[in-house]
């Protein structure tokens, strides 16, 4: 069951499940955390075939996970959180949506980090409906868990793709920004255009300073925010930042921004850095000029 070949592990688990030997129960329990979903599933089926009866709360948590008995997991509470989190951390898990929902119902603070990590994984998916499902279930779960979510979400306000969802949770939890930077990033993530218009001096100051950050995520968040806000007085700052800190995704974002000077700057950057601009396949489009 510990072979490097997952096919061998799968066959071993299946054979031992059919053996009827109670001595193989403990090794099978360990395989519930195998790195391959098919092996984990087979281990669960083998334990059911052996009529395994869990005795400890920890094993009861694994038992309700095997049976996809989410109501029993919620009723069990915190002891069920550990096996649910272990499953959520598996990259190939096919049941992350119900696991996340269940963890939110259990309200164990130890689930915050893996749920935030799952939230961060959504932008990499190509299917928009799958992204939206992850956004919905993770934000709901984090709101259900409550205040322990806050400290992990505030730094995500500088992650352009998930900042709106982090801000949604923070807003629901009645979080209050402590600094000008947090306030501006929060309001931008919530797309509060009235706040931005009234406090443009502050907003511009914070986002312009962010352009000089050593953290690329902070820089990109500020760039996309300024493009979305669409004020002509920041165009020179945007172009300078592209030339100083540019990469292909940023250049593509400028190329698709809808603003002529930014599009021209992107073509110049591409030419100077050995990239070719394609007329009908330009690349990423995180935001358009003036359409925050």
At 180 the pLDDT is 97
Range of the domain at 279: 182-292
In a domain, 273, yes or no: yes
Give the 3-state secondary structure of residue 34: coil
At 284 the pLDDT is 76
In a domain, 200, yes or no: yes
Q: Name which of 172, 164, 169 is nearest 122 in CA terms.
A: 164
Is-contact 145 108, C-beta < 8 A?
A: yes
Q: Which stretches in the chain have pLDDT values below 50?
A: none
At 86 the pLDDT is 95
In a domain, 194, yes or no: yes
In a domain, 288, yes or no: yes
Is-contact 175 151, C-beta < 8 A?
A: no
Which tokens is 193 given? 């255009």
Q: Cα–Cα distances in Å, from 11 out to 53, 66, 84, 116, 144?
A: 23, 19, 25, 35, 40
Half-sphere exposure of 248 (CA within 13 A, CB side): 8
The span from the CA of 139 to the CA of 124, in Å, is 17
In a domain, 78, yes or no: no
At 275 the pLDDT is 85
At 171 the pLDDT is 98
Is-contact 292 228, C-beta < 8 A?
A: yes
Residue 141: exposure state from Cβ atoms within 10 A (0-12, 13-18, ≥19) = buried
- For residue 64, the surrounding DSSP H or E stretch is helix 57-66
Report how many domains make up the chain.
Answer: 1
In a domain, 143, yes or no: no
At 276 the pLDDT is 77
At 278 the pLDDT is 67
At 280 the pLDDT is 58
Q: Cα–Cα distances in Å, from 25 out to 3, 21, 22, 55?
A: 18, 8, 6, 13
Taking the CB of residue 53, how many other CB atoms lie within 10 A of it?
10
In a domain, 210, yes or no: yes
In a domain, 228, yes or no: yes
- For residue 72, the surrounding DSSP H or E stretch is helix 70-76
């Amino acid at each position: 069951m510990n072979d490097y070949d997952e096919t061998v592990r799968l066959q071993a688990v299946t054979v031992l499940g059919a053996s009827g030997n109670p001595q193989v129960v403990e090794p099978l329990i360990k395989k519930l955390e195998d790195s391959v979903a098919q092996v984990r599933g087979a281990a669960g089926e083998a334990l059911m075939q052996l009529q395994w009866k869990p005795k400890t709360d920890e094993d009861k948590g694994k038992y309700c996970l095997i049976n996809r008995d989410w109501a029993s997991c919620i009723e069990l509470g915190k002891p069920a959180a550990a096996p649910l989190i272990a499953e959520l951390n598996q990259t190939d898990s096919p049941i992350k949506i119900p696991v996340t929902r269940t963890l939110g119902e259990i309200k164990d603070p130890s689930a915050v980090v893996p749920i935030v990590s799952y939230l961060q994984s959504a932008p990499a998916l190509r299917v928009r409906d799958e992204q939206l499902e992850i956004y919905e279930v993770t934000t709901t779960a984090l709101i259900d868990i409550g205040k322990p979510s806050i400290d992990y979400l505030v730094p995500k306000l500088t992650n352009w793709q998930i900042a709106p969802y982090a801000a949604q949770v923070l807003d629901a939890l009645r979080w209050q920004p402590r600094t000008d930077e947090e306030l501006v990033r929060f309001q931008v993530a919530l797309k509060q255009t009235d706040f931005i218009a009234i406090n443009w001096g502050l907003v511009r100051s914070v986002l312009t300073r962010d352009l000089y950050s050593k953290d690329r995520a902070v820089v990109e968040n500020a760039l996309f925010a300024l493009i979305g806000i669409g004020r002509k007085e920041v165009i020179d700052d945007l172009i300078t930042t592209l030339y100083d800190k540019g990469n292909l995704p940023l250049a593509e974002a400028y190329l698709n921004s809808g603003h002529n000077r930014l599009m021209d700057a992107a073509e110049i950057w591409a030419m100077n850095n050995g990239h070719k601009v394609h007329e009908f396949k330009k690349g990423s489009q995180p935001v358009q000029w003036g359409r925050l």
